[in-house]
Amino acid sequence: MERVLVQLGERSYPVFVVSDGFASLGEIARSAKLPLTAVVISDSNVAGKYLLPVRNALRDHNIQVEAVIIPPGESQKSLRRYSNVVTSMLRKGIGRDSFVVALGGGVIGDLAGFVAATYMRGLPYVQVPTTLLAQVDSSVGGKVGIDHRLGKNLIGAFYQPQFVYANLATLTTLSKREIISGLGEVIKYGIIASETIFNFVETQLDAILASSLEALAWLIPRCVAIKADIVAADEREAGRRMVLNFGHTIAHGLEAATRYSRMRHGEAVLIGMLGETYLAVQRGLTDGSLLDRLVHLVSRLSLKVDLAHIHMRNILKPLRLDKKVRRGALTFVLPRSIGVVEFVSDIGIDEIRASIEFLRAQFIHT
């Protein structure tokens, strides 16, 4: 077991990276002095694999378990699904003497965390991420929320978990596509903060794609430690935490343009990082070597994405409602070099169009 602490004063919490399944989950929950009733929120795919061992691990420590199971997919991060989950909890008689367990990937973590933040004015919750993307990124930092039809994550809160329990064994059952999606956030950490991580992905890509526990056990705590440091310095994204948005501005436009149904979030981030690094090159902030290196790495992932049939206006329209808009200007995080980024708020629409056209040239087949 490895333990990374997210230091937020009274809201500090540990992230446990474990390789022994769910055996220690109940013990940790009791040590955290959580209530003796848990509501596990999960999707049908994840619940079929892991609900029973999670339930048993909690019950072994006298924690009663209720479950709310929803369909999988990004489309579930909606006001309608949020209302349905709350209704299910009310019908089960869940009171304030309960806690929420978010068992699943980033969608479940965001939705269940938002339910926890708002149900009866707030229940404690824990994150039990089961995808690479969730373990390295979305389960840490307390960003919870749901999507609106006009944009991604426009309804939400900052609400920290009591702890995060990342079980590496769950990653061995993921599809290659899910691992690739998680690599979008991993590579992001490499570019914004750690050439060591970037080099590791370049040299160990085959092992990572094969879900090598040795490679993942090295990688995940290091990504979590970077995010923990950033969140500790800027919990509510007033400044430094915005570096975590590298690649996400264009990514959110692509996701909204495809109605959150044609690409995984991490796939969109991979594409977004290419587009935003292209902007950095065109602005003269960095030379072309970083872009070349990133293009080569992403090409090895063989993303099955076709951008040719996505209308430009559908990509650009959601950007006007992006959470990174400040005083009418959209802020981009652009890299100068590995480990050095700059916030840029004067990117023109023609520059964004040019970056999208660059991306179209990279992804022209399905």
Which residue in 248, 255, 264, 267 is the catalytic one?
Answer: 248
Task: Choose the catalytic residue: 143, 152, 264, 324.
Answer: 143
Which of 265, 267, 276, 324 is catalytic? The answer is: 265
Whether 45 is a known active-site residue: answer no
β pairing state of 143-148 and 151-158: antiparallel
> Choosing from 74, 178, 237, 276, which is the catalytic residue?
237
**Residue 227 a catalytic site member:** yes
DSSP 8-state secondary structure symbol assigned to residue 364: B
Distances (CA, A) of 238 to 43, 233, 324, 348, 363: 33, 10, 10, 23, 34
- Annotation marks residue 143 as catalytic: yes
Rounded Cα gap, residues 185 and 226, in angstroms: 12
Cα distances from 176 to residues 18, 19, 125, 181, 267, in angstroms, run: 21, 20, 29, 9, 12
The question of whether 245 is a catalytic residue gets the answer: yes
Catalytic residue of the set 74, 185, 255, 267:
185
Place of tokens 């495809």: 258
The C-alpha atoms of residue 185 and residue 182 are separated, in whole angstroms, by 6
Q: Which listed residue (252, 255, 264, 276) is catalytic?
A: 252
Q: Choosing from 153, 222, 245, 276, which is the catalytic residue?
A: 245
Please tell me which residue in 77, 227, 264, 324 is annotated as part of the active site.
227
Contact 271, 303 (CB under 8 A): yes
Catalytic residue among 121, 313, 327, 365: 121
Asked about 185 being catalytic, the answer comes back as yes
Q: How far apart are CA 40 and CA 199, in angstroms?
A: 37
Q: Token pair 């997919």 is at which residue?
A: 73
Q: Give the position of tokens 């209704």.
A: 87
Partners of 158 in the beta sheet?
Answer: 143
| Active-site residue, from 152, 188, 222, 241 | 241
Known catalytic residues are 121, 143, 185, 227, 237, 241, 245, 248, 252, 265
